[in-house]
Each structure stands twice: as structure tokens, then as C-alpha cells.
Structure 1
Amino acid sequence: MAGSRFLNTVSGAALSLAVAVSGGVVAAVAVPTSAYAAVVSNVVVNGTGQAGSDAIKSKLTIQPGRSFTDADINQSIRNLYSTGYFSDVKISVSGSTLVVNVTENQLINQVVFNGNRKVNDKKLEGVVQLHSLGPYNEAQAQVDMQRIKDAYAQIGRADVEVSIETATVQDNRINVAFVIDEGGRTKTRKINFEGNNTFGDARLASVISTKRSTPLSFLTRKDIYNPDKVRHDETLLREFYNNHGFPDFRLISTDVDYDEEDNSYSITFTMSEGDRYRFGDIGVASTVEGVDIETLKGDIKTRSGKIYDADDIQKTSESIAASVSSQGYPFAQVNPRGDRNFSNDTFSVNYEIDQGVRAYIERIEIVGNTRTRDYVIRREFELAEGDAYNREMIARAKRRLEALGYFSEVNISTQPGSAPDRVVIVVDVTDEPTGAFSIGAGYDAEGDSLVVELSVQERNFLGRGQFIRASAGLGDNDSQIYNFAFTEPFFLGYRVAAGFDLYRAYSASQDYYTYAETAGDIRLTAPLTDELSSTIKYVYQKFEYDGTGDWQNPNNLSPVFQNLINGSPWTVSSVEQAFNFSSVDNYQQPREGVLANLTNTVAGLGGDSHYYSLTGKVRWYQMISDQADIIGSLTARGGLVTPFDSNLNVFDQFTIGGQEIRGFKQNGLGPRTVVQGDALGSQYYTTISAEANFPLPGIPEDVSLRGAAYLDAGSAWGNAVELANTAVEGTDFALRASGGVALIWNSPFGDLRFDYAIPFAKEDFDETQRFRFGIANTF
């Protein structure tokens, strides 16, 4: 009898736990400290309906004939509540019988959403946890309403109101309706910066992800206020200053004001920049016996006299760690030690190599990814399960994941493993949209006409990390351009990008012939360093010329082009090898760094062309004024093509014009026939351009509208096309030059550029074009 009284006391404690859990709050259970044990011979379940008694018994930790304690009763109650099917659970003992009394939650017949227009049902269904045929739980309903509010906050509707309605139907089932009042769209009306003396407001506005509201913000949604996004902006500001010479930068406060009448936010970032430093003495030291320090000096990216850059310190640490690991010290870790010299504002760094903790990676856990496949994330790690844990290699993987552009946030943390020398790596990512549909404008160089283009692009196709782009363009003169591109970034499991391109263009812009090109290529790109890669490509091209009108009249069309029409179609089979270098800080709007390309082409693997060509481009970006956000750039281009036999075809030579020297038509300068004026292209070319890019006064940075002023110069000369007694001019080197201004708009429809240039050095036979409109190109 004493045991029975004890168990009834425990039942009361368990009941108090049941009430606490059903209210959505988990409380500690006050149970007697005595550890009496008891035994029952059978279990009786009362109140079961949809859930059978056997299903309830399976959740109990108490079995007939086995002793149990108060802890078993408490755990059994927890197990039953965890199913979500019960609103009340009581367990008691009557003689030798364990009595389980339950009250079931109602089952959900249907879940619907009312009032939602901006977020569709499918997305909301993925947000809430209540679902058809599942149990209805008031606590879960409250959680789901908050999740719906969070989903609306992501699209700038933080003042959304959500309520819930239920209607009972037959057999203890209910219909659940989430009633949504979407409210108005929340905007970011102002973004202010205080304490910034070195960098202007426009420069800092380009750094953060939150943008000020503009008439086109409904397309980009970059003006949506989100507290998590603002916290990310704080990190971006810190990183920006740390990477531009300010190791003592502090973000003092971030103040957010909400205007109820306007339903908008104003954000003010208050900061202290500190002094700007340059790197001083740079050294490497090691406490690990056997490490060859001399071989590590090539890994150093922080140079004395260079502006302090925290990112260069991190990259150097990662590079040294990789080299030390390759020397046979996988556990070594690199600790950069900084020493400020306040008298001359220098920051000395000594990279100290120490023997790290001997720990191994037990497993790598991927969480948070709702779209991107696990293997796409794992392959960015140069470490795997069982490898030695290396802090710098983990940091390198984080940078690579962030550089993919698939995630809005990447966090990597460690947890203890199953043994003291085991570590669990937890990779927590948040997927972001990677697809794009755009309506833009381009320029058909061959057809010399404007083309309106529709394109669809996906950078993370089916979550596999693959790139796909398809576009179609139509323009005047019946111009047509079609493109399709596909890239697999990890071909056969190696860090080698493989892909192919398909291209089709047609134009009837010429007076006496139409022109069509069909082309395709397959390519492989392998990284040589973090900034340098090499690409090898096989290209097949087919050119078709069709005469129109009185094309056989030599006064209208030169014998050179009549020969192209008579011999059509023409094919070119070639192999290209290219080196590509990039150190720019941002591809969309570079402000610092270098882009360079060197391409070798050999044609003659079949087809009608047999030649070797070499082309190169390099563009250097440098800030002219940090305060005014003025970007300077210098661009140099050049090329030569030489035949393996006696001559080249017209389509083998270079087409130079408005893309390289603005103010001229495409193919508007260089050799051409005297009588007919047919452009032949050139065997050689060289150009140089200087440009200053700046924000327009009075135009918010968030509008993404900038101006530019530039000077272009260069020449296209030489001819290896068989002339057949045709007079030609422009084969000698002659300098062309122009100056102009541009309006550049990073629009929701693509990067558009409007140029107006005036040639001030040209030949009489050159064809000019002062106004040009097309796609903005950083290279």
C-alpha cells in the first residue's frame, strides 16, 4: 500500500508537467527524490480514439512485469505529448494496473490560407507545421502564425496580421484557416552614415545589401527592411573597413527608426574609422621543428608598404597552412600576430606556426540547405571525414562557399565528437535565389544593330551548382541572336569546370548579302591559383553568306565578298587555350584589382581556315577618390593573326570598332575595299582606354545610375585576305582616337550603358557612330 500511495503522488507531479507542456512551455518536474520501484501486471488505456491503444502503449517506458520508477512515468508522459496527438495525459496506478487516461487533439481535415496575394499557398504550406491529417495543437498554431509573419517580413511586409479560424467537421476533425491581412509594403526610406571621413556615403551605400527605396525597388526588393539583413550589413561594413586599411574600425551603433504613417524605416550607422594603416614588417616563424620557412615566403600576400587588408592576412594564413600541411604537418596552425606602430601608422604581421591540437574530423554535418545538395557544399572542403582538423582550411572552405553566390549566409562551427580527439564540423547555410529572368538590350556587332534580348539564367540548377543560361534576341534588319550555355563546375568530381556553348546569329543589315553564323564549343577550365585559371576549348563555326539584289555587280560588292557568297557555307574548326586572371573586388562594379586574359588560337583541324592568333586584354581598376567614389580604369587590348598558308578569310580577321574605340561603328575602322567600301577586318590591332566612373550628383546610389568620361585610342591594320585585283585602303597603321561620356545603369533588366563619343583622330574612309547603346561590360 505504501508503494501505491507513492505512485499516486508521482502521477500528480506528472500531471503538472502535462499542463505545462500543453500550454507550450516546458517546465521542470518536481518529483520525490526517493527512488522506490514498483511493478504492474497490465496496462489499461482510456480515451483513445484515432490513436489505438497499442500505439499509446508503444510510447510508454513501463512494461508489465518490470519494475519502474517516477522517472519512467515522467518520460512516458513526455513521449505521449511529443507525438502532438494529445491535449491531456494522466497516468496512475490502481492495484496492479497502470491506467493511462488521454484526451486526443482534433485531427486536421484541411489547412487553407485566406487573404494571401503576395505569398502563394505553396510557399506558405512549406512554412507552417500544421498539415492535413495531422493533430491540431494550439501551441503549434501560434508558432505557425509567427512563421507566416516572418515569411512576409522577408518581402518587406513586416506589419502583416495573421489570425487563425477553425471549423469542426465530422469525426472529431477540423478545418484550419490562416487569415492573413498582408498590410502595406515596408520600405527603407533613408540610410545614413555618421563618422565616415574617408569614404563617402555613396561608397558605403554600395557596400551594404540594404538599399534605399526607389521607384524600381518593387523589382529588386533590395529596400526591404530585415533585422537579420541589417546585422549582416554591420558585418559588411566592418569587413570593408578592415580590408581597406582600418583595423581599429568600430561600429558604435545602428539606430533604426520606424515611421508608422509612411510604413518605412530609417537606418543610421554611426562609426569610428580609426587611423589608416599600411603593412610594416612581415615575417614567418615556427615552433614546429622541421618546417621549411623559406619555402613559405611565396605564400605571403601581405607586402610591406601596402594598405592594410585583413582579407590578405586571412588568405596568407590559409596558404601557409596548406603548404605546411603538404610538408607533413597536418595539425599545424597559423596564428598571425599584429603589432601597430602608432608613430608611422604601420601594422607589422608575424605569422607564427604552432603545433595545433591533434584532432580529427569525425563528420561534417550540413544544415539549413533547403535547395542546394549536400555534395555541392562538401566539395568546397579540401578536408573530409577522418582528416586532421585544420582551422585555416576550414576558413578557406567558408570563403569558397560564400563566393559561390548560392547562400545569403554561411556559418561554420565545431562541436565535440565522440572522443576527445574527434571534432564535428557543422556547416549552417541559408539558400538564396539564384535564378534570374531579364529583359535587356545588346549590340549585334556583325549586324551593326541594336538587339532586344530575353534571357533566363540559373546559377544553381536543381541545387547541383550547375550554371545554365538561355537567351534570344531580336533586332532591326531582321537580326536574330540565340545563345545557350551550360557549365558543370566540378567535372567528374574534380575542381575542373566543364561546359559547352551554342550560338546562332543572323543579320540582313548589309546592302547586298545576308550573314548567318552557327557555332558551338566545348570547354574545360582548371584553376591554377585562387586568381589564375586556364581554359582549353574546341570551337566549331559555320558561316553562311547569301547574296541579295544586284550582288554580282563588282561596283556594289567586291570580288572578295562575291567569293564568300559563291563558296558558302564556310567552316572553321579551332582549338583555343586561354589564361584568365582576376583580382577585382567585385565583378558587377569593380573598384580595385585587375582583369586579364591571354588567348592562343589554332585553326586548321579541318574546315576552311588555317591560322594562328594571339589576343590579350588587361584592365586595371583603381579608386581615384574614396570620398567621392570615383573609379579609374585603364584598359589595353591587342591581337595578331597569321595564316599557316598564303592567306586568311575575311571572317578570320579582327573586327574592330565601337566596342574598342567608341565613336566608331563596329568594323568601322581598318582595311576596306576602295570602290565598294566593304570592311575586310584587320590582321593586327591595338587599343588603349582610360575611363573615370563616378556617381551622378543628386542621384541616390541605390538607383545604380552612374556616369563616366573616357578617352580611347588605337589602330587596326594589316590584311592577309586575297584581294583579286581589288583596291584596298587602311592597311597601314594609323592612330584613331575619341573622347566621350557615358551613362551606366545597373537596372533590374540588366547592366545597360549609353555612350556618346566624338572621334577626333580618324581616317576619311572610317565609319563613325557617335551614339551607342548596349550591354555594360566590365571587361
Structure 2
Amino acid sequence: MKRSIGAVLFLAVLSVGIAAQPAADWYLGKTIKDIEFSGIKRVDRNELNSAVQAYKGKVFSESLWMDLQATVYELDYFDQISPIALPGDAEYSTVIVKFTVTEKPWIETVRVDGARGLRPGEILGAALLKSGDIYNQAKARADEKAIRKLYMEKGYADATVTSFTEPGRGENSLVLVFQVSEGSQLAIQEIRFEGNKALAASSLKSKLSLKEQGLFQPGLFQEQKLEADRNQIENLYQSRGFVDARVVDILRELNRDEGAQKTRLILTFVISEGDQYSFGGLRFSGNSIFPNEKLAALVRSKEGTILNYPTLLADKQRIEDLYYENGYIFNRIEMKERRDPDSRVISYTLGITERDRAHIENIIVKGNKKTKDHVIFRELPFEVGDIFSKTKVITGLRNLYNLQYFSALTPEMVPGSAENLMDIIITMEEQSSADIQFGLTLSGIGASTPEFPISGLIKWNDRNFLGNGQSVSVGVTASPDTQEVTLGFSDPWLFNKRMTGSVELSFVHKGMQALQDSLGPVFAYGDPAAVPDPYTSWAEYEAAGYVVPDEYYMDYEYWNLNLTFSLGYRFIFPVGTLGLSGGVRFGLTNQSYDQALFRPFSESLASSAGDWINSNSLIFRTYMNALDLWYDPSKGYFVSQKFTWAGLFDFEQDQFLRTDTKLEGYVTLFDIPIGEDWSLKWVLGGHTGLSLLLPKPGSTLSATDNSKLYIDGFFVGRGWRNLTESTFGGTLLWENWVEIRMPLVKQFLSFDMFLDAATVRTDQGLLTFKDGVTGSLDPSKTSLFDLGFENLAFSLGAGFRFTIPQFPFRFYFARRFFMNGAGRFEWATEGMEFVISITQTTL
């Protein structure tokens, strides 16, 4: 159906619909209040609204109507479109444009016929059209090309793909069929070169993405890589001063291998090298916005050296980026050469045609089915009317990725309705933000300890509740000794500001152990000479390294109910995001045990047995976040400082000031493209954290076992589960790790290698391993200034880390080691220990 027919129909319907009005063209010059669609059954209404959003609020005119009509037709979702104009109010001061549509058939099933070498699921993964989509012939043709591209990547150079449709079983449905003729796989037997004198064949081969078949290399030929490899050879020559070097031909020799059902290929690149030139300098003309000195500072090519043309192009790109970043995106910058063939020197002039800055006319988002527009717009550091900034666009995309609502974001900049105006269009693919997590957390497989701690987890969480960007969660954790239920709600944009508000309710029950004092002699509480069973004096206790055998511990029950409120604000700076937050936690704690059987060594446990005791605290935190992606960073740093004032009233058991200092940094060691969709990438990460329990001003420190600091074996000192809080819970914890992370599936799965080191200090001194793997306490060392290698619990290991919120687990094999009293490193166990834990994000 032609657009001109639609325009006539539109005007005719308008005339009938407003026959009672004073003028047939009453809608002209009126503001468009809304644009509605009737007859929608399967097309995504959010996508329709996004497509026409830019027209709402504008004044209706014939030219605007033609643009709006073109936008609706270009969606290609409808067989018929009937428009009508309706008054937006009783005074006819605004207009509502309503489209009544008939949808095109929808796809009931997508099928692949003729596939033998590739799985149908792999083939359909390359296609955009899926079951449930509206059928679009242009997209079907594009999917044919995508599937053929997949076959070519797998070495099927002669593969052909066509598509056709069959009637479906449902109303207005069809079956989309991709018919494949695979042909045979093509493998590269040998790669040769002719005409190369200045560069060796080995140097040229190292730059090619196509490889010869070998023991660990399938050598599959991919036609689309051939042109890229031609460019790689020419770029290598041009980086060595051979600016005229060209691959003039690529010869192919085919040999059929019937036994392997493959065709062997010999490729020969025929090269014309030309002469080698030096760089004679770069001059500028036409620039008035930026002086020559500023532009020259961006040029890294050195006059008089061998000309590196790719580096020169990078210099030109930096100059273009300077203009681009400052909003001058419509400038024209051309580079012209001046060649002296006798001296073999080439000089260049950069001609710059400057134009006014570009301003943003519209910001359009597409593809957000669940996420509301305002949730997206508030993450963008630019708005309509601003001068265009490339850096701000990149920052906005990073902000959107950090939400973890979207799996893909594609920005597009298009000219606006007038000179120096532009539209920014962001097309997005949403991923699930609501998830139910099931899992186990365990540690100790292969360990010498008899315990085998297992925790079950079930958690429902929606990080984008109702599309408003708020988070709602319900979680249950259960194990033989710990049960926990949590309810949480948070809003990262409270009152539409960069203010975070959250509330969390949690209920925890733990089966705990504590030291006893029930064997003779029984000491009075407060007696400075008191020691736990089975010791009778401090000399015995100290000689044992302050370690109590397991059989002398008593069991008790710990119950805790907490309600936490917090409020924070984020400040955006060029160097990163500065966050400030504060909160209050109200809690009730109960500790109970069989008083007929046990007498605890701790006076606080004995005095509060069976009573519900207040446990309140104030929390303040500040951080600076300069990570690229906070949930899976590859560069940047993060530093935070947190203070906790425990005990708001004198009668509370916990009375201390806790401080937590953390510093993390990441750098990408290398990122080498291996294929079109994967790169060999190593990220080096480092972390250090120091936590202290300090006495409040004018008072003494008092902390229950549950509030003390210890090495948990999951997140701190991975694998060290035997250093329990009952014996090694202290007032100082220093924990460190270094990791090398290798992403296997981008934003999904990573292989990590790690080295952990941690120590803890109690009232009896620093942790030490000079007496063996079980660990003890060294009273001669009471601060980090006394620290030695024998005071650190080390672990070395590797494993897999999932970076998606739907499955936030880490699977590691860790091997513990320490420095013994003889000054030698020693393995803690014979084998590796298996550790499963939940991925923790920096924020």
C-alpha cells in the first residue's frame, strides 16, 4: 500500500469524522496530545510507542504527518493501516492521532531443513526471527544471509540458504522454514606469499585470522575473513613505510579429500610492495576553533622517521575526536599528501572545514518492553537541547549496562529536522531482571576436617520491579546450623534524584558453639586469671596457642531480628562516582542454652541467656567508584570506607566502633581478538581490605562472637573453614586477593585464578601457623607492624565465576598453604578443596 493512498485516506476520514466542526482541517496547527494504535494483538506496544514518541507534543502539519506515516509504515508490521484524527479535549485545542491496523501473520514455528553439519539450534541462534514474532520478509532475507554467514564461518563456503513459509495451525499464523544446502567443508592446507621481499612470510602469517590446518587448528576457510586478511597484510606493510603496498591477487588451488569429506585449499597472496617512505610532517589548515599547538599535541607520528600510516590515521582520529567530543560532529576533515618521490618523503596537510556545534533534538529509546522510559532517561548524562558529547554517550551506555536490565545496546546518531540538530536513538535488548535463584554453598571437599557445611539458597529478586528500576527481594537460606529469611526493597532514584533509599528485614537463627568454664577450677566472672576449659592457668592456655579442643565447646542457639533503613546520594565527577550513605539498624538478639548442662566462659553470654537484647547500630559509608562495569570490571578502581557505631544504648551487649576500608583495582593485561565474537582477554584484579573493631571514645570494647571478625573460608581466605569465630574471632581482619580473570562468555562466565592471603588478631594476639596447620595465636604479636608470613593464611586456586544475577555463583578449587615455624611454606592438605559461594559485587 502506497503512502500517498494512506494520506488521502487519512484526510478523507478526517473530513467525515469532523463534519460537525467549523473547519475540515481543524487538526492543522494543533499539538499532538497522543498517538494511539487499535487492533494490536502481538506487536509490542512499547516498541510502537518508542517509534512515535518523538512526534508527541509537536504541532501537527502536513510535513509532520508524512514523516509520522513513514515511521509507522517502515515498521513493516501491518498489512493495513487506517488513520483518524480525534480531538484531545473538548475545546479541540489538541489532537489525538489513532491508527487502526491489521497485523501481518505471526510466526508459529521456525524450522530448519537440510542441516547435517550444524545443529538446528545453532542455526536458529543466528536468526533474528523467532517463534511469536511478526513475519517480515525483509528480516527473513536478512536471516538467510546470517545463517549462510554462520555456515561460512564453519568452513562451508558453498552453502546456500533460502526461506519459505507454510500455513500454521493458529489464527493468522505461519511456519517459517529455512532450507539449507550445506555443500562440503573447506580447510586450508597451506598459505603462501609471492612478491614479499621486505617482510618474511612468518611475519605476514602471524597477522592473518585464517590459519593453516594443524593438530590443534581446524583451518576452516571463511570467505568473509579473506578481505580482512588482505587488509591486515596491507596495514602491516603501511606501518613499515610501504604506503603503496597492495595485495594484487589471491590465488586458490583446490584439492578434494573424499575420505575426510573436505576440500583442501592452498591460498597464495600476491603482493606488490612498492617503495618505502619517511614521514615529512603534518600541517593544518582551516582550523580556528582549536589552535595548531593543541592539534599538534595529539599527533604521535614523528617527522623524519619511517612513515607509519596506521599511526598517522590514529593521529587524525584523535583530532576528529577532539572536535566530536566538543559537539562539532558535522565538520569535514580531509588529509592530503605531498609526495617527494626522489627523497621518498611524504608530508600531509589536514584540511578542516569547521561548522557549528550539534545540539540534541530528540532522544529516542527502542526495544524496552518492561523498563519504563524515565528509568532509562535518568541514567543518561545528556538531555534534549544539550551539545552533543561522545564521552557522555559512552557514559550513558555504561550506566545502562550497569543496571543489568539489558543484554545489548546499540546507539545511533542521525540528522535532525534542521541544520546542526541531531537525534540520538538507542536500541536495546532487554534481559530478565526478575529471577529465582536456587543453589548450594559448600566448602571442604577434600579437607581434613570432619565437618561438611552445606547451605541451601532460594531467593526471588526483581531488580527492575514493574519496570520502575526498583529492587524487591525475598530470600531464604538454610543449612544444618544456619537459617535466614530476608525481605528487601530499594530505590536507587528516590524522589527522582540520585538518592538511594532501602529497607531490609531479616531473621536469622544459628546453632553456635562457645567456650566453657564448668570443670574445676571454676573461675568467677571478671576474674583476670580466668581461662576456659580444659585449662587451669594462663600458662597452660598460652602453651596451647590459645586453642581449645573441639570436645570442650558448648552448644547454644542464636536468634536475631533486624530492620535496617538506609539513605544515600551519588555525585558524578569525571574521575568517578562519589557515594555517601547512612543508615540505622534496629535489632533484637536472643542467645539461649541448657543452663543445667553448660556454664559459658563468656560473661555476656551467661548474663543474657534466654533474654531478648537490643542490638542497634548506626552506619555511615562513602565510596569512590571508577570501574567501567561494577559487576564485572576490566579496568578502573574502587575505594570505600565504612563506619559502624554499634550500641546506641548502654545496656546493649555490642559496644564498639567498626571501620571497614577496602581498595580494589583492575587492569586489562591484553585483549586479543580470536574470532568475530570472542577475544582472549586477561584482567588483573587486586583487592585489600582492613576491618577493625575499636572501643568507643570513653568506653571499653565489648563484642559478641557474632560481631567479631574472622576468616570465613568462602569470601575471605577461600578454603580456610577451620578458623572458626569461636576461637579465631577477633578485632582486626586483614584480607587480600590477587586474581587473573579470563572471560569465557562475555558478561556471563569467567575463568578465574586467585591467590588469597588473610590474617586475624584476637585479644590473645595474631593468628600464627608456626605450630602447624590448625593455627594458633601468638601473644608476642599484636599489630600488623609485627606481621610475618607465618601469620597469614594463604590459598591458591582457580575456578569459574558466573557474572549474571540469575546465577550468581562461584565454583573454585582451592589449595591452602602456610609458612611453618621453620620458615618454609607447607601445604595444609594433600588435595584441593572445593568451594562454592555467591558472587559478591563491589557495590
Please state which band the TM-score falls in when normalised by the shorter chain. Answer: 0.5 to 0.7
Classify 1:315/1:550 alpha carbon distance in 2 versus 1 (closer, same or farther; 3 Å).
Answer: farther
Offset, 1:601: 0.9
Q: Are residues 1:178 and 2:174 paired?
A: yes
What is the distance in 2 between the residues matched to 1:543 and 1:637?
29
**Structure-1 separation of matches of 2:487 and 2:285:** 52
SS of equivalent residue, structure 2 residue 495 = helix
What's 2:416 paired with?
Answer: 416
1:474 alignment partner in structure 2? 478
Q: Does 1:433 align with 2:481?
A: no
| TM-superposed deviation, 1:575 | 1.9
Tell me if 1:640 matches 2:692: yes
**Equivalent in the alignment of 1:572:** 616
CA distance in 1, matches of 2:453, 2:186: 41
Indicate yes or no: 2:649 matched with 1:593: no
The correspondence of residues 266-305 of structure 1 with structure 2, limited to 5 A, is none
Q: Which residue of 1 aligns with 2:498?
A: 495
* Structure 2 partner of 1:533: 578
Q: Secondary structure at the match of 1:376?
A: helix
Alignment length, in residue pairs? Answer: 563
> Is 1:602–1:613's contact at 8 Å kept on the other side of the alignment?
yes
AA of the residue aligned to 1:638: L
Give the SS at the match of 1:561: helix
Which amino acid counterpart does residue 693 of structure 2 have in structure 1?
V
Decide whether aligned partners of structure 1 residues 317 and 400 sit closer, same or farther in structure 2, where only a CA change above 3 A counts. farther
Return the offset for 1:577: 1.4
Do structure 1's residue 757 and structure 2's residue 812 form an aligned pair?
no
Encode CA deviations 1:335-355: one digit per residue, 9 max, x unaligned: 99999xxxxxxxxxxx99997
| Structure-2 residue corresponding to 1:736 | 792
Partner of 2:657: 611
Over aligned residue pairs, what C-alpha RMSD do you find? 6.9
Match of 2:372 in 1: 373
Q: Secondary structure at the match of 1:512?
A: strand
Contact 1:742 1:756 in 2 (8 A): yes
Distance verdict in 2 for CA 1:316–1:369, change over 3 Å: farther
Question: 2:703 aligned with 1:649, yes or no?
Answer: yes
- Is 1:713 equivalent to 2:768 in the alignment? no
Residue 398 to residue 286, structure 1, CA distance change in 2 (3 Å) = farther
Provide, for residues 528-548 of structure 1, a one-character-per-residue CA deviation record: whole Å limited to 9, x for no partner: 445343231314152534323
CA shift, 1:413, in A, is 1.8
* Offset at residue 401 of structure 1 (A): 4.0
Change (3 A) 1:401 1:633: closer
Measured after TM superposition, the shift of residue 573 of structure 1 is 1.6
For residues 499 and 735 of structure 2, what CA distance do their matches in structure 1 show? Answer: 33
Does the 8 A contact of 2:711 with 2:758 survive in 1? no
SS at match of 1:565: coil
Q: 2:466: which partner in 1?
A: 462
Structure 2: distance between partners of 1:564 and 1:315: 69
Q: Distance in 1 between matches of 2:760 and 2:13?
A: 84
* Shift in alpha-carbon separation, 1:777–1:385, aligned structure 2, 3 A: closer
The verdict on how the C-alpha distance between 1:389 and 1:729 changes in structure 2, with shifts beyond 3 A counting, is: closer
For residues 65-102 of structure 1, what are the alpha-carbon distances to aligned partners after superposition, in whole Å with 9 as ceiling and x for unaligned?
x9xxxxxxxx9xx99x999679xxxxxxxxxxxxxxxx
Q: Is the 8 A contact 1:542 1:572 kept in 2?
A: yes
Counterpart for residue 512 of structure 1 = 555
Report the counterpart of residue 566 of structure 2 in structure 1.
Answer: 522
CA distance in 1: counterparts of 2:330 and 2:173, whole angstroms = 56
Structure 1: gaps (5+ residues) = 1-20, 30-50, 67-74, 87-106, 130-139, 168-174, 202-229, 254-283, 325-329, 340-350, 673-677, 722-726
C-alpha contact 2:690 2:733 (8 A) present in aligned 1: yes
| Deviation digits for residues 570-620 of structure 1 (CA, Å, limit 9, x no counterpart) | 4122122121434356743x5x43543332314157245342524324355
Over 3 Å counting, the alpha-carbon distance change for 1:526 and 1:386 in structure 2 is: closer
Q: How does 1:681-696 map to 2 (within 5 A)?
A: 681-692=729-740
Change (3 A) 1:415 1:689: closer
Q: Which amino acid aligns with 1:516?
A: W
**Amino acid across the alignment from 2:410:** V
Deviation digits for residues 407-464 of structure 1 (CA, Å, limit 9, x no counterpart):
52322222332x445x24141413321324332333699x993322223343433333
Counterparts of 1:140-219 in structure 2 under 5 Å?
162-164=165-167, 176-178=172-174
Q: 1:664 aligns to what?
A: 720
* Contact 1:593/1:622 (8 A) holds in 2: yes
Contact map agreement 1:332 1:354 (CA 8 A) in 2: no
Matched residue type, 1:514: E
Q: SS of the residue aligned with 1:656? A: coil
Residue matched to 1:102: none
SS of the residue aligned with 2:370? coil
1:619/1:179 CA distance change after superposition, 3 Å: closer
Amino acid paired to 2:411: N
- Which letter maps to 1:416? G
Residue number among 768, 771, 777 corresponding to 2:833 in the alignment: 771
Q: Distance in 2 between matches of 1:686 and 1:606?
A: 27
Distance 2:493 2:314 in 1: 26
Evaluate the alpha carbon distance shift between residue 471 and residue 495 of structure 1 in structure 2; reply closer, same or farther with a 3 A threshold: same
- 8 Å CA contact 1:288, 1:354 repeated in 2: no
- Provide closer, same or farther for how the CA distance between residues 751 and 551 of structure 1 changes in structure 2, counting only shifts above 3 A: farther
Give the residue type in structure 1 aligned to 2:812: F
Query: Match for 2:655: what amino acid?
Result: S
Matching residue's letter, 2:641: T
1:114 positional shift: 8.2
Q: Per-residue deviation at 1:716?
A: 1.3
SS in 1 for 2:710: coil
Q: 1:408 to 1:482 in 2, by over 3 A?
A: same
Q: Does 1:623 align with 2:669?
A: yes
Give the Cα–Cα distance (whole angstroms) in 1 for the partners of residues 163 and 687 of structure 2: 51
Q: C-alpha distance in 2, partners of 1:653/1:190?
A: 65
Matched position secondary structure for 2:467? coil
Q: TM-score, normalised by structure 1?
A: 0.53
Change (3 A) 1:357 1:649: same
Structure 1 residue 685: Cα displacement: 2.5
Residues 361, 84 of structure 1: CA spacing in aligned structure 2 closer, same or farther, 3 A cutoff?
same
The 1-side partners of 2:333 and 2:648 are apart by 56
Q: Residues 8-55 of structure 1: CA distance to partner in whole angstroms, max 9, x if unpaired?
A: xxxxxxxxxxxxx5xxxx6999xxxxxxxxxxxxxxxxxxxxx9xx97
Q: Which runs of 5+ in 2 are unaligned?
A: 25-65, 82-101, 112-120, 152-160, 192-203, 211-223, 244-249, 251-283, 303-310, 337-349, 445-450, 514-553, 675-679, 766-775, 822-827
Cα drift, residue 57 of structure 1: 8.9
Q: Residue type of the partner of 1:127?
A: D
CA contact (8 A) 2:802 2:808 kept: yes
Instruction: From the superposition, tell whether residues 381 and 716 of structure 1 become closer, same or farther in structure 2 (CA, over 3 Å).
Output: closer
Pairwise CA distance, 1:563? 3.7
Deviation by residue 1:472-526 (Cα, 9 ceiling, x = unmatched):
2222x25223344444333322334443444333222535112233332423244
Matches of 2:642 and 2:493, distance apart in 1 = 25
SS in 2 for 1:127: coil
Q: CA shift at 1:647, angstroms?
A: 1.9
- Opposite residue 731 of structure 2, the aligned amino acid is Q
1:442 counterpart letter in structure 2? T
**Residue identity in the other structure for 1:755:** F
